[in-house]
Amino acid sequence: MYVAVKGGEQAIDAAHRLLAEERRGDTSVPGLTLEQIAEQLTLAVDRVMTEGSLYDREWAALAVKQSRGDLIEAIFLIRAARTTLARFGYTEPMNTKAMRVKRRVSAAFKDIPGGQILGPTFDYTHRLLDFGLTRDEKPEAAATAPADLEQTMPRVLEMLANEGLIEQPSAAAREPDDLTQDPLDFPAGRDLRLQNLARGDEGFLLSLAYSTQRGYGRTHPFAGEIRLGLVEVSFTPEELGFPIVIGEIMVTECEMINQFHGSNEVPPQFTRGYGLGFGQCERKAMSMALVDRSLRAGELGEERIAPAQDEEFVLSHSDNVQATGFVEHLKLPHYVDFQSELVMLRQMRADIEAKTRKAAE
Partner 1 sequence: MNAPTYNFAYLNEQTKRMIRRAILKAVAVPGYQVPFASREMPMPYGWGTGGVQVTAAILTPDDTLKVIDQGADDTTNAVSIRKFFVKTSGVATTEKTEDATIIQTRHRIPETPLTEDQILVFQVPIPEPLRFLEPRETETRVMHALEEYGVMQVKLYEDIAQYGQIATTYAYPAKVADRYVFDPSPIPKFDNPKLNDCPALQLFGAGREKRIYAVPPYTKVVSLDFEDHPFEIQTWDRPCAICGSRKSFLDEILTDDAGGQMFVCSDTDFCARQQNQSA
Dist CA 38 CA 58 (whole Å): 7
Supply the minimum distance, in Å, between the C-beta of residue 30 and partner 1.
20
Supply the minimum distance, in Å, between the C-beta of residue 41 and partner 1.
18
If the CB atoms of residues 127 and 331 are measured against partner 1, the closer one turns out to be 331
Dist CA 21 CA 23 (whole Å): 5
If the CB atoms of residues 127 and 329 are measured against partner 1, the closer one turns out to be 329
| DSSP calls for 19-48 | HHHHHH--TTSPPPPHHHHHHHSHHHHHHH
Residue 278 CB burial class (10 angstroms; 0-12, 13-18, ≥19): buried
If the CB atoms of residues 24 and 334 are measured against partner 1, the closer one turns out to be 334
If the CB atoms of residues 11 and 18 are measured against partner 1, the closer one turns out to be 11
If the CB atoms of residues 97 and 349 are measured against partner 1, the closer one turns out to be 349
If the CB atoms of residues 51 and 282 are measured against partner 1, the closer one turns out to be 51
Dist CA 289 CA 283 (whole Å): 10
Supply the minimum distance, in Å, between the C-beta of residue 33 and partner 1.
12
Coil, strand or helix at 109: coil
Residue 149 CB contacts under 8 Å (≥ 6 apart), including other chains = 100, 101, 102, 117
Supply the minimum distance, in Å, between the C-beta of residue 246 and partner 1.
19
Supply the minimum distance, in Å, between the C-beta of residue 287 and partner 1.
23
Coil, strand or helix at 226: strand
E strand map for the chain: 100-105, 222-235, 244-261, 269-278
- Please tell me what DSSP assigns to residue 210: H
Q: Order of strands across the sheet with 100-105?
A: 100-105, 222-235, 244-261, 269-278
Supply the minimum distance, in Å, between the C-beta of residue 178 and partner 1.
9
If the CB atoms of residues 62 and 256 are measured against partner 1, the closer one turns out to be 62
Task: Evaluate the omega torsion of the peptide bond into residue 154 and state whether it is cis, within 30 degrees of 0.
Answer: no
Written as one letter, the residue type at 11 is A
Supply the minimum distance, in Å, between the C-beta of residue 84 and partner 1.
6
Supply the minimum distance, in Å, between the C-beta of residue 21 and partner 1.
20
Residue ranges binding partner 1 (CB under 8 A)? 1-9, 11-12, 58-59, 62, 76, 79-87, 180-187, 312, 316, 321-322, 324-329, 332-337, 339-344, 348, 351
If the CB atoms of residues 12 and 171 are measured against partner 1, the closer one turns out to be 12
